[in-house]
């Protein structure tokens, strides 16, 4: 049996209390929340607008991404640099990214291994209430349009049903020599998102993409919006 440890619900109220008045949480903020809820995110740090890069234990290669509450798509503004191999490349990338309009900082993270990319999300729908979404394709989900929905809160059997509804489900099982993904890690992530959105505190949460591996998973990007009912 796959079970969450309940930290998602405990963490949601605590996190929102500490960030009272804030409605939109950008990638590094959402990832900090998700990490506290027991989900896997890359090791990283935020570089401020001054461009100062503190010493860290992050291991190359690194990824650098522009951070801003006003930028909806980092890719569209050229706000991502991948495979940075040393301090010189990192410094150059940070300098370039901070020149992008509305840049508020730069998120620097250890590069994740390539995996099967999916999207996992949750939203409070005006008609149906809390809903969880799952799809294949990660950043290409709008192209593939291979997504499925389920009402939250979900139980383990509901999460398994949800992932089986997408046309590309065979990719998760292993396809053309590729190993099957860790479905336990996938289901745990879906159940955690279900808990978060079913709490009523979070209006929208988007994990896209999530990389799935033979063992484990990694949330590569995330954003979150607090319910308008929260004061």
CA distance 31 to 205: 11
Counting Cα atoms < 13 Å in the Cβ hemisphere of 183 gives 17
pLDDT tens, residue by residue, 102-147: 999 999 999 999 999 999 999 999 999 999 999 997 666 777 789 9
Residue 7's pLDDT band, with cuts at 50, 70 and 90, is low
How many CB atoms neighbour CB 223 within 10 A?
19
For the cut 80, the answer to whether the pLDDT of residue 10 exceeds it is no
Q: Decide if domain 7-40+114-226 falls under CATH 3.30.470.20.
A: yes
Question: Domain boundaries in the chain?
Answer: 7-40+114-226, 44-110
- Please determine whether the domains at 7-40+114-226 and 44-110 fall in the same fold group of CATH: no
Average pLDDT, rounded, for the chain: 92
Reported as a single tens digit per residue, the pLDDT across 15-73 is: 878 888 889 999 999 999 999 999 999 999 999 999 999 999 999 999 999 999 999 99
* Domain 44-110, CATH: 3.30.1490.20
What per-residue confidence (pLDDT) applies to 135?
Answer: 95
pLDDT of residue 184: 97
CB of 105 closer than 8 Å to CB of 49: yes
CB count in 10 Å sphere of residue 140: 14
What is the residue-wise DSSP string for 159-199? HHHHHTTSTTHHHHH--TTPPPP-HHHHHHHHHHHHHHHHT
Answer yes or no: are the C-beta atoms of 188 and 202 closer than 8 Å: no
Q: pLDDT band for position 3 (50/70/90)?
A: low
């Amino acid at each position: 049996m796959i079970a969450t440890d309940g930290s998602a619900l405990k963490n949601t109220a605590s996190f929102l209390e500490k960030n009272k008045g804030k409605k939109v949480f950008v990638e590094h903020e959402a990832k900090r929340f998700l990490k506290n809820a027991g989900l896997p995110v890359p090791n990283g740090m935020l570089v401020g607008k001054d461009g100062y890069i503190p010493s860290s234990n992050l291991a190359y290669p690194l990824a650098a991404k522009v951070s801003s509450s006003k930028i909806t798509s980092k890719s569209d503004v050229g706000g991502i640099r991948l495979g940075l191999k040393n301090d010189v490349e990192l410094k150059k990338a940070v300098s370039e990214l901070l020149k992008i309009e509305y840049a508020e900082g730069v998120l620097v993270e250890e590069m994740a291994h390539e995996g099967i990319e999916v999207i996992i999300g949750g939203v409070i729908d005006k008609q149906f209430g809390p809903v969880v979404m799952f799809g294949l394709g990660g950043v290409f989900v709008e192209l593939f349009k291979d997504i499925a929905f389920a009402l939250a809160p979900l139980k383990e059997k509901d999460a398994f049903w949800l992932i089986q509804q997408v046309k590309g489900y065979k990719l998760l099982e292993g396809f053309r020599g590729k190993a099957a993904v860790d479905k336990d890690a996938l289901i745990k992530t879906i159940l955690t998102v279900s808990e978060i959105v079913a709490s009523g505190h979070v209006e929208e949460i988007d994990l896209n993409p999530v990389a799935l591996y033979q063992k484990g998973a990694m949330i590569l990007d995330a954003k979150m919006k607090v319910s308008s009912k929260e004061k």
